[in-house]
Amino acid sequence: MFISFEGIEGSGKTTQVELLIGVLQAKGHECVATREPGATEIGLGIREILLDSAHSNMLPLTELLLYEADRAQHIHDVIKPALAAGKVVVSDRFSDATTVYQGYARGCDLGLIERIHQIVLSGLRPDLTLILDLPVETGLERAWQRIHSRSGDLPEDRFEKEALGFHERVRQGYLTLARNEPDRFRVIDASGNPQSAHKDIVKAVLHREGNEGR
Ligand code: TMP
């Protein structure tokens, strides 16, 4: 099974991936927790380029192609081998992030993104995508707290520095995708405490697992 987590900045994906992996492992599943960008050695270099706020002049097309380059390597090195070995793959972001961030929010052509996805994904699609949804103001406040608490590391804040309108387009983009493909997406209320979002996530995953077993 392939599960992806999506959401705006500060939606709590990293915590929720960890909590879900704990539940799945306790049920006896072998799991791989992964993320985009940066799950491979090549991807880590790409992540650094993408998130460095010194690169404020990066073209939208450059940004789009770098995310896709990271993804091609990620699928080949991590996701496909894990799925072939029967493991559950839980990814902190996947291709929907590109559709929403580079497409809906940045304005890259959605048809172009779709065509690139046909090449890069060659049919690979998450079985379940969990969108952690909350107001952008709340998410950004949490994201900035996290960035400030990590003094010493290179700041990964190029996207957090985008205007509120950008993040609102990201949020609305995810909600649009969820409306268009209700079988794959579940929207989780992430505005409250992590435990209550976790409960809803486990319910959605067990429901999907039950349906797959039929
Ligand atoms: P993260 O904060 O979830 O680690 O993601 C890094 C940033 O990259 C985040 O601001 C969202 C952005 N992003 C895109 O713009 N497009 C993509 O395809 C992916 C995977 C992430």
pLDDT for residue 156: 82
Ligand 1 pocket member 97 (CB < 6 A): yes
Could you please report the per-residue DSSP string of 49-71?
Answer: HHHBGGGTT--HHHHHHHHHHHH
**pLDDT tens, the chain, 214 aa long:** 999 999 999 999 999 999 999 999 999 999 999 999 999 999 999 999 999 999 999 999 999 999 999 999 999 999 999 999 999 999 999 999 999 999 999 999 999 999 999 999 999 999 999 999 999 999 999 989 888 887 666 678 888 888 899 999 999 999 999 999 999 999 999 999 999 999 999 999 999 988 775 5
> What ranges do the domains of the chain cover?
2-212
**Ligand 1 atom 18: the closest Cα is on which residue?**
98
Question: Which of 75, 92, 101, 136 is the best mutation target for the ligand 1 pocket, counting ligand atoms within 8 Å of the beta carbon and taking the most?
Answer: 101
Looking at ligand 1, which atom is closest to the CA of residue 37?
Answer: 20
Cα–Cα distance list, 29 to 20, 39, 88, 104, 149 (Å):
11, 21, 7, 35, 34
Question: Which of 93, 108, 117, 171 is the best mutation target for the ligand 1 pocket, counting ligand atoms within 8 Å of the beta carbon and taking the most?
Answer: 93
pLDDT for residue 213: 56
Instruction: Quote the CA–CA distance of 149 and 190 in Å, as a whole number.
Output: 21
Ligand 1 pocket member 38 (CB < 6 A): no
Residue 109 tokens read as 């052509």
Handedness of CA 72, 67, 128, 124 (dihedral sign): negative
Instruction: Quote the CA–CA distance of 21 and 29 in Å, as a whole number.
Output: 9
Lookup result for tokens 């990620």? 74
- Check: CATH 3.10.310.10 for 2-212? no
Considering the entire predicted model, what is its pTM? Answer: 0.95
pLDDT for residue 189: 98
Ligand 1 pocket member 185 (CB < 6 A): no
Ligand 1 pocket member 5 (CB < 6 A): no
**Ligand 1 atom 6: the closest Cα is on which residue?**
37
